[in-house]
Amino acid sequence: MEYLIQQDRIVYALGETLLDMVTNDGLKFRAIPGGSVLNASVSMARTGVSVDLISEFGNDKAGNLINGFLSSNNVGTDYCVKYPGNKTSLALAFLDENKNASYAFYHDTPDELPDTTLPAFKKDDILLFGSIYSVKPTREVFVEKILHQASLAGSLVFFDPNVRKAHPDNLDALMPRFFHLFQNSSIVKGSDEDFFSLFGTNNPEAIYAIMNVFCKYLIITNGAGPVILFTPKFRKTYNVPALKPISTIGAGDNFNAGFIVGLLTLGINSENIADAGSDEWDILLGCAIGFSTMTCMSETNYIVKTPEPDFWKKYI
């Protein structure tokens, strides 16, 4: 694969922005701009992808730090709401001995967002979104406007539910919303924990039997276990490399980033994805696993350097 990303396509990344305060011992913290789609956006931009973040944060010191960081990494913020009367959300991330994080979140967000300019999606553009932000009742109208614009243009839509940290007792009421988002997505990727929270099973075939009604392309990650791909044509399994991580924060987010870099490199969009064969999916999943692996070996939430050509080959 010649590592040439299509420059005329834009990735729009919709989701929550936070300032992550990460600690190994509970006493010393390091501040890292975070949030699921922000993490993915930074990594994609570092490879030359044109990325616009659609998010929200405060017009405060934390928000200014995040805004400057995004600008320095060439992530567009024209569609970010910087509210003056509320503070930027914080996430305290406590790493355990295996470098997995548990979180405490602190939010001061307005119930309603002001009217904002919506992106002018094109057919070849990509929308990345997900997490609990996508199903919050207070953000439903805003998210739906973005999704409608992307769908109207025929853009490829990549959805990651990312609900394993959610409170299970909230999910029953949100299930119709999740099903709606699944149905309007080109590709859904989630962890076995996500789907267990949603469907009460982590059996891949049982999960796809449910998801196949809504979305034909499904990727299931399993932490250090194999990644499982379902398409209308075949099912395939990909092993992930054994490693001793420095931090697993952002691993799933960067899986998404690597996958989208693969889409842009191969020229895959919503119209021709049905033509992608096993070899193309190998590249897509190799890129995804590669980005995730690289992030686990960093103290930040993103890849730290541009991958070399054909880097994906060692991950499949």
Residue 166 confidence (pLDDT):
56
Residue 4 confidence (pLDDT):
57
What is the distance between the alpha carbons of residues 62 and 234, in angstroms, rounded to a whole number? 46
Whether the CB-CB separation of 227 and 221 falls below 8 Å is answered with: yes
CA dihedral 289, 91, 191, 75 (to 10 degrees): -40
Token output for 203: 């059996």
Q: How many CA atoms lie within 13 A of 315 on its CB side?
A: 24
Residue position matching structure tokens 């096993």: 278
What is the distance between the alpha carbons of residues 35 and 19, in angstroms, rounded to a whole number? 8
Residue 97 — pLDDT band, cuts 50, 70, 90?
confident
| CATH 3.90.950.20 applies to domain 10-315 | no
Token output for 234: 């075949």
What is the distance between the alpha carbons of residues 162 and 42, in angstroms, rounded to a whole number? 19
What is the distance between the alpha carbons of residues 64 and 82, in angstroms, rounded to a whole number? 9
Look at 26-35, 46-55, 84-93, 166-175 and tell me which has the smallest mean pLDDT: 166-175
Higher pLDDT, 1 or 31: 31
What is the distance between the alpha carbons of residues 79 and 158, in angstroms, rounded to a whole number? 19
What is the distance between the alpha carbons of residues 160 and 195, in angstroms, rounded to a whole number? 11
Residue position matching structure tokens 């190799």: 286
Residue 28: pLDDT over 60: yes
Average pLDDT of the chain, as a whole number: 92
**13-36 mean pLDDT:** 93
**170-196 mean pLDDT:** 94
Look at 61-65, 75-79, 98-102, 194-198 and tell me which has the smallest mean pLDDT: 98-102
Residue 168 confidence (pLDDT):
62
Q: What residue spans define the domains of the chain?
A: 10-315
**217-244 mean pLDDT:** 95
Look at 187-191, 215-219, 223-227 and tell me which has the smallest mean pLDDT: 223-227
